[in-house]
Amino acid sequence: MSLTICTYGNPILRKKAEEVTEITGEIHELAKDMLETMYEERGVGLAAEQVGRSERMFVIDIPPDSDMGDDGVRENPDVEMPLVFINPKITAHTEDIQVGPEGCLSFPEIFANVERWYEVDAEYTDLEGHVKQLHAKGLLARAVQHELDHLNGVLLVDRMSHVKKVALGGKLKRLVKETKKAL
C-alpha cells in the first residue's frame, strides 16, 4: 500500500522519532509500504516521519547508475539494495566533506547543495532483528545522513546555505501554506 508523504510545514517532520523496541509484523508492513511509496515517488530514501509515523526507521535504495564516483567507479558495489534501517546511528565518519545537490520528497521540486561527510560507518537493526554495520560512501553516505536527520527532526531547509534559503523563500512559503491547508 502506498502512503501519503508529509510535506514541509507538517509538524510531524519536526518531531524526534522513537526507538523501535520490537520488530513486529507492523514494522515489516511499514517497511514494505515505505519502499513502495519511495519507488512510486522516485526517491532514493524515505524516513518514517515522512509518512506520518514516529518509528526510528528509514529505507534507502540507490540505483547502481547513481552509485558512481566522479571517476565512474561504483562507490558501494558490495551493498545490497534496498536497505531498511531500524534504530540507525552513525558510529564513525571521515573528515572529508562533499558538497552535493540534495532533494527530499517532503520538499517537492526543491533542490539545494548540502555539505555531508563523504564516508560514514553506520550501525542499524535489519528487519530480521540482526544488528548490522554499513560502510557507506558518496550518495549512499549522503542518503544515510539525510534520513538520519529526519529522525531527529532536522530538514533539508536547515542544512542549506542561508543565501539559498533566502533565494527559495517564496517557494518554501508557498509549500508551507499548501501543506497547512491540506492538514
Task: Tell me which residues are annotated as active site.
Answer: 147
Contact at 8 Å (CB) between 126 and 132? yes
Q: Which is nearer to Co ion, 112 or 134 (CB)?
A: 112
Taking CB under 5 A as the binding criterion, the range among 7-15, 27-35, 104-112, 173-181 that sits at the site for Co ion is: 104-112
By CB under 5 A, residue 104 contacts Co ion? yes
Select from 89, 178, 87, 100 the least CA-distant residue to 136.
89
Residue closer to Co ion (CB basis): 104 or 175: 104
Unique residue bearing C-alpha cell 539494495: 81
Phi-psi region of 91 (alpha: psi -120 to 50; beta: other; left: phi over 0): alpha
- Minimum distance between the CB of residue 47 and Co ion, rounded to whole angstroms? 6
What's the closest the beta carbon of residue 7 comes to Co ion, in angstroms?
10
Q: Is 143 in the site for Co ion (CB under 5 A)?
A: no
Amino acid at 124: Y
Stretch that binds Co ion, among 3-11, 34-42, 99-107, 132-140 (CB under 5 A): 99-107
119-125 vs 97-102, strand pairing mode? unpaired
CB of 118 to Co ion, least distance (A): 19
Residue 116: phi, psi to the nearest 5?
-140, 155
Structural element, H or E, at residue 39: helix 25-40
* Residue with Cβ nearer Co ion (23 or 102): 102
Q: How far is the CB of 138 from Co ion (least distance, A)?
A: 17
Task: Give the residues lining the site for Co ion (CB under 5 A).
Answer: 104
